[in-house]
A = this chain, B = another copy of it.
Amino acid sequence: MEETSWEPPPVLLAVDLVILTLRSSRLHVLLVERGIEPYEGASALPGGFLFDSGEDIRAAAHRELSEEANLDASRLHLEQLGAYGSPDRDPRGRVVSVAYLAIAPGLPEPEAGTDASAASWLPVEEFTSGRAPLAFDHHRILEDGVEQARTELEHTSLATAFCNETFTISELQRVYEAVWGQQLDPRNFYRKVQAVPGFILPAVSDRRPTRGRPARLFRRGPRTRLRPPMMRPDPPTQSEER
């Protein structure tokens, strides 16, 4: 196959992170303000180049997670979204970026890591609804990440990654509602979630003060693949087919 003197072209490898969390019942994504060209001053996903030839790609994602988001890597869902490598995606040269999806529970004050001074949580709908621009092809990466989160909420226990160690069922419901962007019936959700074997487990009652009747607390169950799945109601499908 190969010619005698032909050599494959080298490329630069980067990682980009779609870090999602829930803040005040809305889905937010962590973005940084770029300090250097290209796209200086624009919003971008946290990320960066592979540190050295021996670094594993997932390890690089974890490293950027600490450096740029100041997030504790342990107990954090991290999952590959795919490779993005259009020849013209980075004006500096041929850069292929491997994108990861990270899910963080709601955090008190997540801003300002060690080196990215201008990291902040922004509502995803400001970017998926066409408005604000992002550097490189990060707009597409973000959309892919949100879509993956949406479908994984159906088939995996990903939703619990948005929650703390213990959580109430209505907290879990707010995750589903925020990511899917639609309202769910609390009473049916309550039973449906508990009907999936191994999804959530009762936790020791350590109720927090609240208005209304205190809710029972739960924790993640052992099962990661949900059977049966939590199917989202069809969005208002006005046009059946064409």
Contact = CB atoms under 8 A, between A and B. Distances in A.
Interface of A: 1-2, 8-14, 35-36, 48-57, 67-68, 80, 82-83, 85-87, 93-94, 96, 98, 115-116, 151, 155, 197-198, 221-223, 227, 234, 237, 240-242
Contact of A50 (B8, B98, B155): B8
A234 B229 CA distance: 11
Given A10-B10, A96-B96, A85 B67 contact: no
Given A1-B116, A83-B83, 13 more contacts: A1-B35, A2-B36, A8-B12, A8-B50, A9-B50, A10-B11, A11-B13, A53-B87, A57-B96, A80-B83, A85-B98, A96-B98, A222-B242
B10 A197 contact: no
Contact of A197 (B14, B54, B240): B240
A11, A56, A198, most chain B CB atoms within 10 A: A11
A11 B83 contact: no
B13 A85 contact: yes
B12 A87 contact: no
A235 to B, nearest CB: 10
Contact of A9 (B53, B82, B98): B53
Contacts of A55: 87
A237 B228 CA distance: 12
Contacts of A56: 85-87
A67 B1 CA distance: 9
Contact of A57 (B8, B36, B83, B198): B83
A81 B105 CA distance: 28
Nearest to A87: B54
Contacts of A223: 241
Contacts of A86: 56
A115 B1 contact: yes
Contacts of A11: 10-13, 50, 53
A234 B241 contact: no
Contacts of A82: 80, 82-83
A8 B11 CA distance: 10
